Copies of this chain bind each other. A is one copy, B any other.
Amino acid sequence: MKEKMKGFAMLDLGKTGWVEKPVPTLGPYDALVRPLVVAPCTSDIHTVYEGAFPRELCDFPRILGHEAVGEVVKVGEKVRDFKPGDRVAVPAITPDWRTLDVQRGYHQHSGGMLAGWKFSNPLKSGGKDGVFAEYFHVNDADMNLAKIPEGVSLEQAVFATDMMTTGFHGAELADIPLGGTVAVFGIGPVGLMAIAGAKLLGAARIIAVGSRPRLIELARYYGATDIVNYKRENPVQKILELTNGEGVDSAIIAGGDSSVIADAVKVVKPGGTIGNVNYFGAGDYLPIPRIEWGVGMAHKTIRGGLCPGGRLRMERLLALIKYGRVDPSKMISHRLKGFDAIPEAFELMRRKDLPDLCKPIVVIEE
């Protein structure tokens, strides 16, 4: 195998481009994977263009990308369950499974807050190169990879790595009662998977807040029963109106700026739950509205978390695809071909102005 490889990287704040780097070396539990299908993610856009991280803490160039399925190329000597040639889904979150944080039940924060996120994370401490490369490194392969089962396509499986696990986690956090009513703020790919997740977890009525026609169509496909177009109507008012003033049992936040927290608190009933999976990129504080939060006593729970990663999560999400419970590939709006198309896919995600954009993917090899 060659020693150098190409990768599409963040060169500096606000700047991307191709770089050449050494092919990663492996520890005894690790694997080297060659990407077959990848997808760009909004969070990489935040990282590059929105100053989410201070330059002095970053390590440039950092290869981008954290959504990939691929082929195992090489494994460390202690890897039991994977071998070269295996086709695998690689979660965006690949924690170190040997910390007290895991014993506490939070692999996402293994080694520190959000530290389960490694791929394309620009931080010197905790980050590493992402999947937009000829090869990439996976720590603890037996704990972090999942074989793609028969009946699941690569194009479906790539959604398990981030969009499904994140959107579904929004639904998990929101503690939806069977037959309950849910509001979902945001209908980008994460919001769509939050809708699908709410349906999978037993919601009856799902009120989705969004505006773009193609995404509204997809929201209905994935289970939304009502659409609130925030460009035309106040979403809080409209949701309360739709529910006879009672509000919803659960709200999922999958987009928006910090004010969406206030909106979510306003639309849930006393005893309801807000599940956030949105990345809040700006502002010192997120506002809880005092009165609607019952001056502190309304039992409106506010939760927010990074998506679960690791092998078991991937296996379970792939099983949901395999057994026909959900088909995330309907979200593919642009299907680009070949490794060299990665920058174009990234640019599509950055611009966000194409009317039909939902999620571009790059098929490197089928």
Residues of A with Cβ closer than 8 Å to B? 29, 52, 97-98, 100-109, 112-114, 140, 142-143, 168, 172, 177-181, 197, 199-206, 225, 253, 258, 261-262, 269-271, 276-290, 293-306, 310-313, 315-317, 319-320, 322-323, 325
The CA of A98 and the CA of B95, in the complex, are separated in Å by 11
A261 to B, closest residue via Cβ: B288
Whether B299 and A179, one on each chain, are in contact in the complex, defined by CB atoms closer than 8 angstroms, is no
For A274, the closest partner residue in chain B by CB is B302
Q: Could you list some 23 contacts between A and B, CB below 8 A?
A: A29-B98, A52-B295, A97-B97, A98-B140, A100-B311, A106-B270, A114-B297, A179-B315, A179-B320, A181-B319, A202-B325, A203-B325, A204-B320, A204-B323, A204-B325, A262-B285, A279-B295, A283-B290, A285-B289, A286-B288, A298-B305, A299-B303, A299-B305
- Chain A binding surface SS class: mixed
Q: Are B200 and A298 in contact (CB under 8 A)?
A: no
Set of chain B residues within 8 Å of A262, measured between Cβ atoms:
285
- Distance A179 CA – B312 CA, assembled complex (angstroms): 10
Q: How far is the CB of A150 from chain B (nearest CB, A)?
A: 13
Check B311 against A304 for contact (C-beta < 8 Å): no
By a CB distance below 8 angstroms, the chain B residues around A203 are 325
Q: Would you give the shortest CB distance from A323 to chain B, in whole angstroms? A: 5
B284:A285 contact, CB within 8 angstroms: no
Known: A113-B294, A270-B101, A290-B285. A319 touches B179 (CB 8 A): yes
- Which residues of B are found within 8 Å of A107, using beta-carbon distances? 103
Per the bound structure, the CA–CA distance linking A284 and B287 in Å amounts to 9
Contact (Cβ within 8 A) B104 A312: yes
> Within the assembled complex, what's the spacing in Å between the Cα atoms of A215 and B52?
44
Enumerate chain B residues within 8 angstroms of A206, measured Cβ to Cβ: 323
Q: Which 4 residue pairs spanning A and B have beta carbons closest together?
A: A179-B316, A204-B319, A109-B270, A285-B287
